[in-house]
Structure 1
Amino acid sequence: MTTGAGGNVITGGTHGTVVQAGHIEHLVVRQAPPPADEVTVAPPFGRRGAPLRGRDALLALLLGASGTHVLYGLGGVGKTSLALEVAGSFAAQGAPVWWVAAQDGGRLAGGMRAVARRLGLGEEELASGQTADLLWERLARLPGRWLLVLDNADDLGLLDGPGSLAAGTGWVRTAPGSGGLVLVTTRDGDLGAWGAGPVLHPLGVLPGDQGGRVLVDRATAGAGPSADAELLAVRLGGLPLALDSAGRYLASVVERPAFLRAPGEPATYAAYLAALGAGDVTVDGDGTLARIWAMSLRLLRDRGHGHAETLLRLLAGFADAPVPLRVFAAGRVDIPPGELWSCLQALDRLGLAALGTDGEPVVSLHPLVRDAYRGERERLSARLVGELGDPEDRDPLWPLLVPHLLDDLGRDVPERAWKAAVSAVHVLDVLGLVREAAAAGRAVRDRAVAALTEHHPLARMARMGHARGLLVEGRVEEALPLLEALTRECVRAEGADDALTLMVRNEYANALQMAQDYERAAVENAEVLALRVGLFGEAHAMTLATRHNLAVTLSMLGRYEEALAELDAVHTAELGLYGPDDPRVLVTRENRACIRRDLGDPEAARPELEAVLAARVRVLDADHPQTLAARFNLATCLDPAAAVPELTAVLDARTRVLGPGHPVTAATRATLEHMARTLPR
């Protein structure tokens, strides 16, 4: 303890002179490096543990490299572990190795001075103010192989030293013509800050198989099969530090006798994964990861990215899936667009998030960062739904939003989030994902009923989505009574002309038609059509959809001329609304062609169905249920010899896409058998 002239007390180690002044006009304080005899530049080989996994190619490259190389990535991703592996190989070959801790200015300057002393610089040279220049002159002349590691150099401003890192005059430079290797570990991969000299290597997280091997290395054989370890590694985001923590946790549990384990304490990879999902365990019991995130955020703030934490919290409010950047468009968040983009780039460089494309620009948050930041419950994605319109319009953003719209529904979720979740079920149906749509419909219905009670208006909407999913699966017998009861309930509670009531009645009419109760389906469709014309007008999308349904029902009743007239009018209106390649227009064209086939003119139907099929392959995909429907209908216009192989291919595809027990698959099988019986023997 040192006492100044005015009675102030300074505690801790002091070096040099302590000065107290009565008035200070301008004061510059620099952190003095520790004395040379208190700085070590020996590699911390004691920190080497289990085998290094997933870095073989980069390790081989570095062992044969010279010049300056930078390992950058997320804290905990294993940069120091890889540097230690390189250092161990150099040391084993007798090459000199120096390890400088670069997390603060004092240790960095002290370490570089210690390396300079090892290279023969005297105290007078060190006191000349030219340490960096003299050090790099010595390194450039040093014969043979050598390794200099600067570890944890996250603040690139410190690496400027007496000059400029980017200009090649700072503490880190390249020794031209030398066989030495300079290896720097950092979170910051900003190309502009590093300049042209160093070679930068992004260090990513480990894939599932390599992450699983890390878990197996740390845990014991009793923790479960390697396949379970891989699943846990994926959930942990492939972050080596998290994998190490989870593996050591499991090892500590498994090695204990069973009677010394707490009830429910996970002892296997599968049990740990389940407990992690339920929030019963954490990979950050000692707060190491929290400190890593805090250090990264502090670095971002120091770089002027003041909105970084706000953005992280917003991203953490989404599901564990790529987030389309369109949800952050100007006006949707309180972050200026330019700053938002620079924040996203900075998060990407530090490994906290990853920018990419999935048909649209997207960003993916590291799953453990999501765990650390519990985001806003009101989803920005749900706000966007109102702007996207009908899922039938097929905005490319819809598929990207689906996992976010279905995520984390509960009591405190706003009304628009429930509506968005029901829209997500519809999107899956539009995409032709039959099983996924049905499963999502059940899940949304269950959550809505549990959170809101069965008769809440939003729960009624979710119940309708569930019934639609049943129809998509072909489970008409289950859907029909649900929709009949829901129709009565909506008419009583909402009114006969309410928008939700009409949506439910529209689904009910579809169910009646699928159940081949065409008379009742026609009555229901006609009543809904009259109400929708009154509410929306003749040319509204919902009006046209109901008019189309009524026309199909009329055709099922054998009233072909009426049906064709209705479909012709719908087709003309839809072309004006959507354009020729819209799937709704294609459905209308297909049904017109099928009526002509049923009227006994397959030759007139064939070119129309061929055009519909070509458009669907182009707009949808070859296995979409609507594409398969066009193939089926076209096959029924062919002679049996040509139809049988085509129907066989359609049956195989429908069995794969819809399942062998789906009614549409069964109908295809029956048609194929009938056609096969007509072939000449």
Structure 2
Amino acid sequence: MVAQDGSLAAGSIKIGKVVLGGELDQVPDAPVTLSAPVGDRDGTYPLRGRDDLVETLLALCRTGGEGRLQVLHGLGGCGKTAIALELVHRLLQRPAGIPARTVWWIDARHGVLLDSALRALAWQTGLGREQAGAAWVADALWERLSHAGQEWLLVVDNADDPRVLDGPGRLAAGTGWLRPHAAPSGLILITTRDGTPRLWGPSAMLHPVLPLCENAATQVLIDHAGPAAGSTRAAQALARRLGGLPLALRLAGAYLAEVNEMPGAFREPQTPTDFTSYREALDSSQSARLQPSQVVDETWRLSVEYLHKHGYPCAGTLLDLLATFADAPIPHTLLLRPAALNDVVGDLSRIGGAELWATLVELSTLGLLELRNPHDGLPAVSLHPLIRDASRARKRVADVAGLMGHAQQLEELGKPEEPQFWDAWEAVVPHALGLLGHARDTAGDASSRTVFASGAELAARYLRARGMLHEAAAQFKEIVAIRLAFWGPHDPETLASQQHLARVMHDLGDLDTARHIYQKVWHGTCELLGDQHEHTLIARHELGRFLHDTGDLVAARQHLSSVLDIHLRVRGADHAYTLTARHELARILHSEGQLQGAHSEYTSVLAARQRLLGNDHPRTLRTRHNLACVLHDLGRLEESLGELEAVLAARRQLLGEEHPAVLGTQYRVACVLRSQGESSRARAQFRLVQEIAERTLGEAHPHTRRAREAARELERPPPG
């Protein structure tokens, strides 16, 4: 029985600005929430001009809408999400004694998390672990929802690219993640910019969300601007000028409200203070009727000019910086540190924390950004896409590169494989990956390219750590291509990126690719740095680990014994690299059938790791798992099963249900059950491992094949 591996990358090995290393077994489910963001609905301002549409949706909730997908579509800033939130609010306002409707809310902007969200939904609908983790979970989910006894609403917000909803089939064909259903009082509501009928299919009912009519648009302006901003007639003229776009109306109203709270003696002479002067300011820059995006450009300009004149000279620069990041919440406490801004951004070389915060608050007050302070995540700044577009011509790529470089040195952004840093990395990853495109720019400066490539590499390590192996592999391939093009094949950072790529291909079971890269990296680092350099030893260890996994025990022992000898001499018996090399050599003893020797070595390594790391650290859990496998082969079945079940519980709590290490321990539990004659229980465990491994690792992956074959073996009738 082959136990689990011990990668040498237990610590942080730096080559330049690239960090080598990471734990293979820290790959939990991606974090998701299905709760509606009800806090984003501001009850101070009524939803204007959408009563008929909301009433239509309420009626569809009562009847199930014939099981069709209900699609709200319209341009950005027209209020699609606000309509969905209003619907949720009204559905949850039930009289006492009447059960509230169950509401689930999924944000579809980040397709990489959509799979996890929908599987979490399957779990919440009552599907068991096996079904929620199965490749055919979409079939089971919609069968379950179609026959649900309670009233429910599923909102899928920001599905601007309908293709992310194809899932296992095709959305338009009714075989995607979202499907027609038969629930009498369930409703699927989707918000999107794309209302193309062929993309949604015949099962969809399209509801266009148009700019507001003049009366409703006028009232929105008055709601936000207050009574001091002028007459209803003047508000009508400005509402007409803004094209009835809710976002532009809200920005203009917030601007006028802010201006009119200031004493008149403190205002600049040309500051617009009412609906008429605001409209005239718009007309002065462009007399023709503005398109929606141009409307936002002009309202953005007026608001920034106002802030510049009234003590916030950095407002425009901050917006330009924020607009250069990806279209995702921006963790400002990590990426906009005052010291980093002083060092990197010339326009902000003297800004302090108090001024920075005051400027962000004022930008929020004027509606140009949203400050978020969630209970379960990091504080963040969000920009509406149209506000982001208003700064598109002023992107500050070099400045953002400098800020990302500073962020990569923060203690809060430690190794992306370590669980204590996952919240921070979850917030930073969209920006690190989104900025990688600038590294391909041949006209860009070398220092920015280095930061973007290094940041994307750290982000890809996070993806691998969270179990998104295919996504991580795609990113590592792109990073390697960039490094080869700009740094060449003999650069230490290129070799580091290739090492990460080899690991993830190894994880995915692409052994031919992994073997080729492992050997190339070992020979490359040996030639470049010498055969006893720390990074060369890491490369040699990883090659030895791979050779063990592919059955070449003699070569594996030769590599790993040499590595261990050097680590003992240079770093000592308790160093993480030393213990990891000993752990890997114990695996070889186990594979050779030297069970007592393996038991003794694992016991010694376990004692050291428990002393240094604690009982539930991932590396300690790996050793406990492997020692339990040896107990199984020694025939000590009760001891083995008890320890494996304890490790399984600890790993699930730390890593999630679908981490490869969790599947590995679950597989070993099934093996012990089989040895105890518990064939039915063992077969169910093997099938569960097979289902999850097929979906997360692929049907051809070695872990999938071994679970499938074990289940089939138990299903065969006994001979004779």
Shift in Å at residue 606 of structure 1?
0.8
Tell me the alpha carbon deviations over residues 535-557 of structure 1, each in whole angstroms, 9 at most, x when there is no partner.
44333333333332222222222
CA distance in structure 2 between the partners assigned to 1:661 and 1:546 by the alignment? 29
Any conservation in 2 of the 1:312–1:373 contact (CA below 8 Å)? no
Shift in Å at residue 429 of structure 1?
2.1
Shift in Å at residue 584 of structure 1?
1.9
Shift in Å at residue 438 of structure 1?
1.6
CA distance in structure 1 between the partners assigned to 2:221 and 2:595 by the alignment? 88
Tell me the alpha carbon deviations over residues 306-347 of structure 1, each in whole angstroms, 9 at most, x when there is no partner.
333343344344333333334144644334233333333333
1:359 is matched with 377
Give the counterpart letter for 1:392 in structure 2.
E
Among 392, 416, 420, the residue aligned to 1:391: 416
1:156 is matched with 257
Tell me the alpha carbon deviations over residues 222-271 of structure 1, each in whole angstroms, 9 at most, x when there is no partner.
xxxxxxxxxxxxxxxxxxxxxx959xxxxxxxxxxxxxxxxxxxxxxxxx
> Taking structure 1 as reference, are residues 452 and 600 closer, same or farther at Cα in structure 2, changes over 3 Å only?
same
Q: Helix, strand or coil: the match of 1:453?
A: coil
- The alignment status of 1:301 with 2:336, answered yes or no, reads no
CA distance in structure 2 between the partners assigned to 1:538 and 1:185 by the alignment? 77
CA distance in structure 2 between the partners assigned to 1:302 and 1:419 by the alignment? 39
Shift in Å at residue 151 of structure 1?
6.5
Shift in Å at residue 610 of structure 1?
0.8
Q: Helix, strand or coil: the match of 1:562?
A: helix
2:341 is matched with 333
Q: Larger RCO: Structure 1 or Structure 2 (Cα < 8 Å, ≥ 6 residues apart)? A: 2
What are the within-5 Å matches in structure 2 for residues 480-499 of structure 1?
A: 480-499=515-534
CA distance in structure 2 between the partners assigned to 1:612 and 1:451 by the alignment? 45
1:656 is matched with 695
1:371 is matched with 392
CA distance in structure 2 between the partners assigned to 1:558 and 1:581 by the alignment? 28
> Taking structure 1 as reference, are residues 157 and 310 closer, same or farther at Cα in structure 2, changes over 3 Å only?
closer
CA distance in structure 1 between the partners assigned to 2:645 and 2:406 by the alignment? 40
2:589 is matched with 554
Shift in Å at residue 470 of structure 1?
0.9
Q: Which runs of 5 or more structure 1 residues have no equivalent in the other structure?
A: 1-49, 61-76, 91-96, 116-148, 165-170, 173-181, 187-243, 247-283
What are the within-5 Å matches in structure 2 for residues 599-678 of structure 1?
A: 599-638=634-673, 639-677=678-716
Q: Helix, strand or coil: the match of 2:327?
A: coil
Tell me the alpha carbon deviations over residues 504-537 of structure 1, each in whole angstroms, 9 at most, x when there is no partner.
2232122212212122112212222333344443
Q: Helix, strand or coil: the match of 2:490?
A: coil
The total of aligned residue pairs comes to 462
> Taking structure 1 as reference, are residues 159 and 322 closer, same or farther at Cα in structure 2, changes over 3 Å only?
closer
Give the counterpart letter for 1:460 in structure 2.
L
Tell me the alpha carbon deviations over residues 197-236 of structure 1, each in whole angstroms, 9 at most, x when there is no partner.
xxxxxxxxxxxxxxxxxxxxxxxxxxxxxxxxxxxxxxxx
Q: Helix, strand or coil: the match of 2:658?
A: coil
- The alignment status of 1:472 with 2:507, answered yes or no, reads yes
TM-score normalised over the length of structure 2: 0.56
> Taking structure 1 as reference, are residues 309 and 575 closer, same or farther at Cα in structure 2, changes over 3 Å only?
farther
Q: Helix, strand or coil: the match of 2:700?
A: coil
Tell me the alpha carbon deviations over residues 419-474 of structure 1, each in whole angstroms, 9 at most, x when there is no partner.
44333333222212221222222121112112222222211111112211211111
**Highest Rg: 1 or 2?**
1
Any conservation in 2 of the 1:651–1:669 contact (CA below 8 Å)? yes
CA distance in structure 2 between the partners assigned to 1:185 and 1:591 by the alignment? 75
Tell me the alpha carbon deviations over residues 562-590 of structure 1, each in whole angstroms, 9 at most, x when there is no partner.
33333223323333443332222211111
2:557 is matched with 522
Tell me the C-alpha RMSD between the 2 structures. Answer: 4.3
Any conservation in 1 of the 2:221–2:253 contact (CA below 8 Å)? no
> Taking structure 1 as reference, are residues 382 and 669 closer, same or farther at Cα in structure 2, changes over 3 Å only?
farther
CA distance in structure 2 between the partners assigned to 1:642 and 1:80 by the alignment? 57
CA distance in structure 2 between the partners assigned to 1:508 and 1:652 by the alignment? 30
Among 578, 583, 586, the residue aligned to 2:618: 583
Any conservation in 2 of the 1:640–1:678 contact (CA below 8 Å)? no
> Taking structure 1 as reference, are residues 504 and 580 closer, same or farther at Cα in structure 2, changes over 3 Å only?
same
> Taking structure 1 as reference, are residues 384 and 576 closer, same or farther at Cα in structure 2, changes over 3 Å only?
farther
- The alignment status of 1:380 with 2:385, answered yes or no, reads no
Tell me the alpha carbon deviations over residues 357-395 of structure 1, each in whole angstroms, 9 at most, x when there is no partner.
363223334445263442325253443334344333221
Any conservation in 2 of the 1:554–1:560 contact (CA below 8 Å)? yes
Give the counterpart letter for 2:319 in structure 1.
L
Tell me the alpha carbon deviations over residues 124-175 of structure 1, each in whole angstroms, 9 at most, x when there is no partner.
xxxxxxxxxxxxxxxxxxxxxxxxx9964614355359999xxxxxx99xxx
Q: Which runs of 5 or more structure 2 residues have no equivalent in the other structure?
A: 1-73, 88-192, 194-208, 236-249, 266-271, 279-289, 343-350, 441-445
- The alignment status of 1:311 with 2:329, answered yes or no, reads no
1:404 is matched with 431
Shift in Å at residue 652 of structure 1?
1.0
CA distance in structure 2 between the partners assigned to 1:158 and 1:581 by the alignment? 57
Shift in Å at residue 614 of structure 1?
0.9
What are the within-5 Å matches in structure 2 for residues 199-214 of structure 1?
A: none
Tell me the alpha carbon deviations over residues 89-122 of structure 1, each in whole angstroms, 9 at most, x when there is no partner.
x9xxxxxx9999989x9xx57x69999xxxxxxx
CA distance in structure 2 between the partners assigned to 1:462 and 1:346 by the alignment? 42
CA distance in structure 2 between the partners assigned to 1:98 and 1:443 by the alignment? 47
- The alignment status of 1:435 with 2:470, answered yes or no, reads yes
Q: Helix, strand or coil: the match of 2:328?
A: coil
